[in-house]
Amino acid sequence: MRWKCGILCCLVLAGCAVSSVTGIGDTRLSESPTIELHSPGFDKRVTVFVEIADDPQERARGLMERQQVPWGTGMLFLFPTSQQLSFWMKNTLVPLDILYFDARGVFVSSATMEPCAADPCRTYPSAGSAMYALEVPAGFAKEQEIASGWTLSLPH
């Protein structure tokens, strides 16, 4: 019985240690994929640690119920085809920036999205056809001056 209690205590402590260094979801930042955003002329580069949402369930869940999204982190949504994309903030607790990129990784548009607890929630459509969407903490795009001409480099 004592060994079961000892193992349980070790597992709880290990879980606390992992959660204390976790930046987003259950992924350690040091092990998260990174993407790079490049300004026109490639004179500025911004690195973001991302979780990847590449299936319908992950894309639907997104960053719902997260208490925080640390600066320099986010979620990259990958879609199978280029199309008009639209996001909403149902059950999302923190404001986020959404940045849309086309199939070549070229910036399409962005918006700052506000949390929404109940229907109907506002939608935030892309200004044109997009294949990738990046959610980051609100204010990130403005601070980094991400706008027309910027490009996205996907993780390898």
Give the global pTM: 0.80
Question: For the chain, which residues make up each domain, given as ranges?
Answer: 24-153
Q: Which of 11, 135, 151 is nearest to 75 (CA)?
A: 135
Residues 136-155 have pLDDT tens digits of 999 999 999 999 999 999 98
Q: Which residues of the chain have pLDDT under 70?
A: 1-30, 156
Task: Judge contact between 149 and 91, C-beta under 8 A.
Answer: no
Q: Which residues are registered as beta bridge partners of 33?
A: none
- Dihedral sign of CA atoms 95, 49, 80, 131 in order: positive
Distance between CA atoms of 15 and 127, rounded to whole angstroms?
Answer: 42
Contact (CB, 8 A) for 27 and 51: yes
Count of other CB atoms within 10 angstroms of residue 69: 25
**Alpha carbon distance 5, 25 (integer Å):** 28
CATH class of 24-153: mainly beta
> What tokens were used for 107?
């910036």
